[in-house]
Structure 1
Amino acid sequence: MSETPTAPVVERVDARHRYEILVDGKRAGVAAYRDRGAQRVFFHTEVDDAFAGQGLGAQLVQQALEDVRESGKRIVPVCPYVAKFVQRHAEFADITDPATPDVLRWLEAELG
């Protein structure tokens, strides 16, 4: 009898500045961020090709943004995927700040 796959799990990995989505214990995708005071600046989201087409990117971002809300921080969607997600999910509009040139300069310096 084969094992039933477990539901994907999203974890925040503060030491690596990212959220990870795990499928059966394997990392399937990441949403990378840097914290700028009370803002969590999302700059890259990626799902491994082996897991594409399963809705994992949306699940990852949804849970990451819910975690940001719970932590009392605000979202800055520099990543195009996160920006589009926020546009389509108005429930996050109240905690979303624009990706201003100042934020982009800060992020560039932060990432080196």
Structure 2
Amino acid sequence: MANRAYHNYWVYILTNKPKGTLYIGVTGGIDDRMERHIIGEGSKFTSKYKLKMLVYYEEFQYVNDAIAREKQLKNWHREWKINLIEESNPNWLNLWKQLDSETSSE
């Protein structure tokens, strides 16, 4: 397998409704991971609480940076996570459709 100069890793937050249950995850393939969450196979937690709305994400080149950020966010107070989401997505829009259309044109 050839080494790539750049690879995308994502830290993301899912919810079921604005200010609802939050899930923070990390992945090397956001397209596949979101599709799995949407059909209820992403994780037991996301399936149980029907977490299918992508409300926040960050992109990283290195997996270690993504994992470190995921751990950092998981240790934050709930209010801090909500503030982080609302800084870039004040209306709690589902960013997945927008992100999907951006990545499909490449």
TM-score using structure 1 length = 0.27
TM-score using structure 2 length = 0.28
For the pair shown, which has the larger CA radius of gyration, 1 or 2?
A: 1
